[in-house]
Amino acid sequence: MKFVMFLILFYNWPLTGSNSHITDVPTLQDFVPLGVEFVETPEHELEWNGPAWRLSCFIFVGIGTTEEGDTIIFQLRLPHPVHPGQSSDRFSDKFFINGEWHSSYTLFSPTYYDEGEIFGYPTVYTFGVYRSGDSCIASMSYNESEREWIYRVVPLEGSGDSIEIEIYPRGTTYWMGKPEGPYIIHGAIFNREDIDIWGGFWEIGPCVGRIARPGVGEWEFTGHAIWDRAYHRVYYSDSAIGAAGAPLWFTCGYIYNDDFQLAIGYAQNPSPLNPPVPFQHQGRLSIFVDDTMSFRFDNYELSDNGGLQPSEFHIHGTYEKGEVDLHGEVFLFYPAHWGVYGGVWWDSTAKRTWGRAFIRWTGRITVDDDTIEVTDASGVFENTRYEREQGVEELPRSFENGLKIRPLPNGSSVILEYYIPKKEDVEIDIYDIMGRRVYKVRKAKEAPGNHRIVWKGGSSGVYFVVLKCENSIVKEKFLKLR
């Protein structure tokens, strides 16, 4: 029995239901976990320390206001390493100015580490290019003695945009987990039988910034922000290669005003997986009335007004000193309309999405015998959502060398699901009632298992579907579109 337990701990990264008890101030090792998440090359490039690492988040998001009263919102990210053979990661920083989103440069992996010789403080940095073709450098530095984080973008040639934003965390750091674990479960991965687990920390607090766009304008602002430093791994698999996209059905983010800050991470598990600990459901509340106080906030309920892009949120829960009851209304979405994508590994009828919601909050927080009336808090939630197709039966995992046809609710599209027991050539033909072929697919040496095709259909009528595996007709079916 001891030997079996050793194998479980050796092959699976340690997990926990909550890490909200951690109150450490981040160290340089938490910022850049060399020997755990990263290894550093002689050229100071950061590379993954093994194939199971999936995402390395250096994300900076915040809301500010200029002296003239204009709203400035920024979404910034340093690219993370990639596994050998994968395309370079890239990201275009985005700024909401004068009622519109702007992006003028793109950053590329790899990322590099400087212990302070170049930037004065330990820094992660990367290179990018403006739309003009001129190059730039983007960096995030950590002044550990002052607990200050500094993001900069400066041109290396030409006269492109320059950015400097500093955040001074005010409350207790919110932790997903220390670099070596244990981690919490971020969510189910949509395209493989695995989960995304994460550690890391969020720094939340006031920020000051300056954005200069030559020939366009210059903006100075103050506000609040979240600095998201997260380390992600797959859990069941040996390698993260091919584990695509954001995990399903989570809400993560923060709420802030002069009286308090609240950070939460919450996920549901729509998948058939049964991991050893529950999906993330934790939080931390810091209160700034009189002296700063900070508390675990795991006992809460998060709800919204439903759908794949909710516009209202509600948080209600209790903590050591009182109760939290907050209602949030979205004032800006990014993107404006969250993309909706179809299918997950266990349910081809599912829909999934990703987006950020910038939210204004009202409500109350009780602290012993006192009450904080919340009228002007704001913050950012990052979300994914999952829905099954209404009224459509979930497809079986296998169906004996056959073909399943599921019309979608729009009446003019269908899902064709088929199973093959071995690697072989596959042909699918669809004919109309007059015997004319209206659709064809040829797939050479398709892998065994379940497969899915969406046919957008034609005009109303009766159609015949013929599935052939190599030279044998496996199944004929007819379908009727309205």
* Exposure string over 42-61, b if 16+ CB within 10 A, otherwise e: eeeebbbbeebbbbbbbbbb
pTM for the model stands at 0.79
Q: Alpha-carbon distance 102 to 7, whole Å? A: 50
Q: Alpha-carbon distance 401 to 398, whole Å? A: 8
pLDDT of residue 477: 56
pLDDT of residue 450: 75
pLDDT of residue 428: 85
DSSP category for residue 456:
-
Best CA proximity match to 313, nearest among 248, 365, 254: 254
Contacts of 111 (CB under 8 A, 6+ apart): 45, 46, 58, 78, 79, 80, 81, 124, 125, 126
Using one digit for the tens of pLDDT, what is the confidence trace for 42-70?
Answer: 999 999 999 999 999 999 999 999 999 89
For 43, 100, 357, the CA distances from 334, given in Å and listed in that order, are 36, 11, 6
Q: Alpha-carbon distance 257 to 374, whole Å? A: 9
pLDDT of residue 433: 64
pLDDT of residue 434: 65
Residue 86 corresponds to which tokens in the numbers above?
């994968």
For 178, 255, 289, 367, the CA distances from 374, given in Å and listed in that order, are 32, 11, 13, 13
Positions in the chain whose pLDDT score sits under 70: 1-11, 389-402, 406-413, 433-435, 458, 470-482
pLDDT of residue 480: 58
Using one digit for the tens of pLDDT, what is the confidence trace for 5-26?
Answer: 333 333 478 999 999 999 999 9
CA angle 47, 51, 57 (to 5 degrees): 55
- Domains, in order of start, for the chain: 8-387 (no CATH), 403-481 (2.60.40.2550)
Sheet holding 437-446, edge to edge: 437-446, 424-432, 461-469, 472-481
- Is residue 347 a contact partner of residue 395, using CB atoms and an 8 Å limit? yes
Residue 150 corresponds to which tokens in the numbers above?
């500094």
Q: Alpha-carbon distance 61 to 105, whole Å? A: 17
For 121, 135, 267, 411, the CA distances from 280, given in Å and listed in that order, are 33, 40, 6, 38
pLDDT of residue 182: 97
